Amino acid sequence: MNIIIVGCGKVGYTLVEQLSSEDHDLVVIDENPEKVQAITDSLDAMGIVGNGINHQTLIDAGITTADLLIAVTGDDEKNLLCCVIARKTGHCKTIARVRNPIYNGEIEFLKKEFGLAMIINPELTAANEISRIFQFPSAIRVDSFAKGHVELLHFKVGKNSPLIHLKLMNLQQTLRTNVLVCTVMRGDEVIIPNGEFEFEENDTVAIASQRRNAIEFFQKIGIMKTKVGRAILAGGGKVSFYLAKILLQTGIHVTIIEQSKARCEVLSDLLPKATIICGDATDQELLMQLGLEKAQGFAALTGLDEENILLSLFANDVSNARTVTKINRISFNSVINELNLGSVIYPRIITADYILKYVRSTINSRNSNVETLYKLANGKAEALEFSIKADSVVTGIPLQDLHFRKNTLICCIFRRRKVIIPSGQDIMQAGDSVLVVLSGYRVSDIKEILED
């Protein structure tokens, strides 16, 4: 596809990084020549220094032949206007980043009136992901499929876990739970395990399951935690606002610590049921006064990555709270993974995943549609949900008779509100939602998981 990206900030850079690896032709636009240079020097993209709402700039970028324009500048209104001009000039699909909470209740109206294919809000998306973790604190990450009926739950194998040295082929017999192990992250290696695989301490494991079965599984391996009833949020930015709103609706008591008095007044008006504290979230004495020791959930959501890391380390040291750490800039994944940070959230990567899913789903496919996409194991694996079409080459054939590519696993089939953890005798049918985990290659059509 020919794709134009307007805005070369953190989200723009991550988008180029992911889309360029999938053989798309990319052009980036930004008014800051240094940001454009940083992308074109290190990634496979053309760069134009200019204003994305300037008609001539878009013409120079190739808008007349572009398939998609993505506007991710820091200005919501500029992003929307850029998309309007792009559609009038080039008739391409458009995606806008819109972050201001005042627009949140008008997303469908904006999409319709501005002719947008998608509106993305990194802060709201991050808040939704954090809320899922707080609602299921036994997992360090929760990915949702089949409209919430199936979940991919990630957890770390602890020091005294009954899983250690257990072979995967013996898991069902030993624990008698209906879950499917999809991936294991061991150091920098991602593994799609076979029956001979043995779990080790510090493995990060992803299982596909319905929630009730996952609860039973976590109870049996000794990591079941009670649902968060009280959460402390460090920082009062957009992620905290969206998260607090979601948590309050589910009955979770929320305390927000924010240093800016003006922002505290805004939050008090917008979130009357939350407790808003004007203070420094890095003040250990203040955190202890607010009951961090007894809190069940803690999210470090300030604007500084380093501050968030230190806050989560402190929270894990003094409490048993489920901790979440927001990271915007720092890219030292191998170092971060070694720290005791609980769950780590990267809003820019979550946003890029959403757009990548849209791009894959727009590629003509006779066999399936990509409904959901998540990057796993620092991008080394993917979990994709496909909606199977009637004339797909995979329908009606037992899974044991299909020749799958290496490092491919059919994790579950969702059919008429029933979740099937598949065996070799199961088949895929038209209308099924099928969850596939794979590593080492990328697909946009279900048929691509088969060997040629």
Percentage of the residues of the chain whose pLDDT score is greater than 90: 69
* Same structural domain, 358 and 431: yes
Over range 39-61, report the average pLDDT: 94
**C-alpha separations of 420 from 168, 196, 250 in Å:** 19, 23, 29
| Model pLDDT, residue 334 | 65
Task: Report strand pairing: 2-6 vs 118-120.
Answer: unpaired
417-449 residue pLDDT tens: 899 989 899 999 999 999 999 998 988 889 999
267-321 residue pLDDT tens: 999 999 999 999 999 999 999 999 999 999 999 999 999 999 999 999 999 999 9
Residue 331: give its domain's CATH number. 3.40.50.720
Residue 420: give its domain's CATH number. 3.30.70.1450
Per-residue pLDDT at 99 exceeds 70:
yes
Q: How far, in Å, CA of 359 to CA of 63, rounded?
A: 17
| Model pLDDT, residue 211 | 87
For residue 33, the enclosing domain spans 2-120
The radius of gyration of the chain's CA atoms, rounded to the nearest angstrom, is: 23
* Same structural domain, 194 and 238: no
pLDDT band at 331 (very low <50, low <70, confident <90, very high): low
Q: Does residue 225 lie in a domain region?
A: no
In terms of Cβ atoms closer than 10 Å to its own Cβ (0-12, 13-18, 19+), residue 101 is: middle
29-41 residue pLDDT tens: 999 999 999 999 9
Over range 126-132, report the average pLDDT: 93
Domains identified in the chain, total number: 4
Domain boundary among 345, 369, 402: 345
* Same structural domain, 373 and 264: no
* Same structural domain, 309 and 403: no
* Same structural domain, 236 and 191: no
Q: What would the two tokens of residue 98 be?
A: 């819109």
| Model pLDDT, residue 364 | 62
The chain-wide mean pLDDT, for the chain, equals 91
**Helix, strand or coil for residue 239?**
helix
Domain boundary among 75, 105, 120: 120
Note whether 351 and 11 are within 8 A (CB).
yes
Closest CA to 327 of 319, 317, 337: 337
Q: Does residue 56 lie in a domain region?
A: yes
The string of DSSP letters for 22-89 reads TT-EEEEEES-HHHHHHHHHHSS-EEEES-TT-HHHHHHHTGGG-SEEEE--S-HHHHHHHHHHHHHH
165-183 residue pLDDT tens: 999 999 988 998 889 999 9
**Helix, strand or coil for residue 399?**
helix
Out of 64-68, 129-133, 184-188, 244-248, pick the least confident.
184-188
Over range 138-150, report the average pLDDT: 89
Domain boundary among 345, 363, 398: 345
Per-residue pLDDT at 333 exceeds 80:
no
Paired strand residues for 383: 374, 437
- What residue type is assigned to position 108 of the chain? E
